[in-house]
Amino acid sequence: MKRSLLFVVLLVCFSCTGNSATKLNSPPDTIYFVDTLGLDSLWQSLVFEKGGCLTGGQYVKDGHFGGEGCVLTQHRKGRPDWRPFFRNPKKDLTEFLISQFTDTSTTHIHTCPFAIAKAGEVAVYCLSKIYLVNWYDFEPFLEYQNREMTDSTDCPQTWLQAILEDPKKRELLIAEWRKL
């Protein structure tokens, strides 16, 4: 029985290439488990625990997303690394991120120069990174492209939050992302 268990543990550890094995706090000859994080776990960790600043780089400009120091695109020592999240298949990411649109929870992501982002809002920015399309580039939202902001409570961030909170407008936005 003991040899069978050891064989199964070794088989799992060595057959799952590409996944990292992590030691449990137990004697060295005991157990290892395969550490793989799903989209939910990565999202929770990156958005609600690690956080960071978008440094104003949450929009696509001249065919590029991000900016200097944008947490979604820059990975440096001591900063959250979003690469494992964005390595997932585009279709899976799209559906997962769309499922976050209704989440109005406050995150640990700052939009700069405005306010802390809501989870649904961060999901939209992630889709912008993936597809290199801004939410206001979609036909139903073109009115926001050249709209002048008046202050930090009347800006692209608050316009997007209002769209995500309105079920009809949110469904229009979802339909546009699914067309890509």
Write down the domain spans for the chain. Answer: 2-35, 39-179
pLDDT tens digits for range 21-60: 333 343 444 333 334 679 999 999 999 999 999 998 999 9
Structural contact between residues 55 and 98, judged by C-beta atoms closer than 8 angstroms: no
- What is this structure's pTM? 0.79
pLDDT tens digits for range 62-119: 999 988 889 998 777 667 789 999 999 999 999 999 999 999 999 999 998 789 999 9
